[in-house]
Structure 1
Amino acid sequence: MAGWLPELLASIVAAVLAITLHEAAHGYAALALGDDTAKRMGRLSLNPLRHVDPVGTVLLPGVLLVAQLLTVGRVEFMFGWAKPVPVNVLGMRRPLQAMALVAIAGPAMNFLLAWVAGLLVHPVETWGTLLSPESLGIAYRFLALFILANLVLGLFNLLPIPPLDGGRIVAGILPPSLALPYMRLERWGILIVLFGVFLLPRLTEDFDPVGWALRNVVAGAFDLVLLLSGNGPGA
């Protein structure tokens, strides 16, 4: 087996689970607030195939995975998206605030999953003697990648740019007179994000927002998850 294949498989499984449960959380939150659109359209599901976007879920993450494994031999950064779960907030009471609650459910699910993965380190340590060193290493690596995938997905979606979850949360906080013009940025949101992630570091010499976030925000959040789950930082 190629040395990078377990890493590739673990990365794919971690990313798919993080994305699927993120999207499902949006649907369940909307259902709890009275909107059954996702349920009626078959999107209230834990089946990853229901949430797959050919470009955002398959093509772009696949290219990033293979490129990193072939160049640096490990996964350091992932980027992608799934098909948004359909939600009709206009049928809810206080639509802007309902939209914010539905939006925050996705990142909240990711942070919960990251913490649960941190807790699973303990049974792996306890029963690790039953595993081969190679299997134990894969188990630890999968948990680390799962924490990383959920933190990157959750934190990235909190950026205050529509249509990311953070943009919708901000719109729910703003008064309607400001929220509605702000939400009109949604048509340009993905372009803004792609510019910041891919083009801006190429156009400037010393400004790499993604690298800065990985070194500071995500790394700090990773250590916090380890601490909150009873593991030492950097474990």
Structure 2
Amino acid sequence: MLAFTVHEFAHAYAAYKFGDRTAYDAGRVTLNPRMHLDVLGMVLILIAGFGWARPVPVNRGNFKHPRLMGIVVSAVGPISNLILAAVGVLAVHELNQTGLLDAGSIGAHRAIVHFLYYLITINIMLFIFNLIPVPPLDGYRIIQDLVPTNVRIRMDQNAHWGIFVFLLIVFIPSLRAETLDPLFAYSGDIISWLINTCELVFDRVDWAKFSYDASR
């Protein structure tokens, strides 16, 4: 809920600041999860491990520089997920520094570890996933605003095939194992980069305290 809400809010807020009131008038410039979450998308997350939020309506024609601002509006969604993951890493640092976990109960320690583990990993996976250049993902919209107009028109004409391919990749395990799973493997590298960056800015911490067995 947190990852989806912040992601969609980032799209809506950026579009509003660039002069497009479409999302604002639809009530999407808010951090209220009820305005962004899709019931079916949330149910599928629990059942299939994949889901979605309600797309933010954007009218690029209202932007002063449609292509440049369109790229920014598309990119801020995934970037917001990367920022949330960074917040999770910083939270780990602060908890280590203050020793709050050592003073708490085992149950509280486990709850905090689980929350931070999912906060970091889910947001990193959403960051990677949304940059894939396949409709209807943000990566596809970024490519649309980068290519020449004639190429963009051709992309729009064939977008429905891209959506079909996207659904096949997501819901057919064998295709997912050959495409998405290797891509998600890079999430560990990004998390390591966030940790190393944090340690460059702050003191080194014992990250082993936050090791988590996902199989549990």
Would the TM-score normalized by the shorter structure come out above 0.5? yes
- The answer on 1:183 being equivalent to 2:168 is no
The alpha-carbon deviation at position 158 of structure 1 amounts to 0.1
Aligned to 1:33: 18
Please list, as runs of the form range in 1=range in 2, the aligned pairs for 1:139-150 lying within 5 A after superposition.
139-150=112-123
State whether residues 70 and 145 of structure 2, in contact with CA within 8 Å, keep that contact through their aligned partners in structure 1. yes
Task: Provide the aligned length of Structure 1 versus Structure 2.
Answer: 202
Q: 1:134-170 deviations in whole A, cap 9, x for unaligned?
A: 2112112211110111111111000011221000111
- The answer on 1:195 being equivalent to 2:168 is yes
- Normalised TM-score (structure 2): 0.85
Aligned to 1:165: 138
Which of these residues, 127, 143, 152, is aligned with residue 154 of structure 1? 127
The alpha-carbon deviation at position 233 of structure 1 amounts to 7.4
Helix, strand or coil for the counterpart of 1:229? helix
Identity %: 34
State whether residues 38 and 54 of structure 2, in contact with CA within 8 Å, keep that contact through their aligned partners in structure 1. yes
State whether residues 22 and 109 of structure 1, in contact with CA within 8 Å, keep that contact through their aligned partners in structure 2. yes
State whether residues 197 and 209 of structure 1, in contact with CA within 8 Å, keep that contact through their aligned partners in structure 2. no
Letter in 2 for 1:62: L
Which of these residues, 194, 197, 205, is aligned with residue 225 of structure 1? 194
Bigger CA drift: 136-145 or 88-97?
88-97
The alpha-carbon deviation at position 53 of structure 1 amounts to 1.4
Gaps of 5+ in 1: 1-15, 65-77
- Normalised TM-score (structure 1): 0.79
Aligned to 2:94: 123
- The answer on 1:114 being equivalent to 2:99 is no
- The answer on 1:47 being equivalent to 2:36 is no
Letter in 2 for 1:52: L
Bigger CA drift: 216-225 or 165-174?
216-225
State whether residues 162 and 185 of structure 1, in contact with CA within 8 Å, keep that contact through their aligned partners in structure 2. no
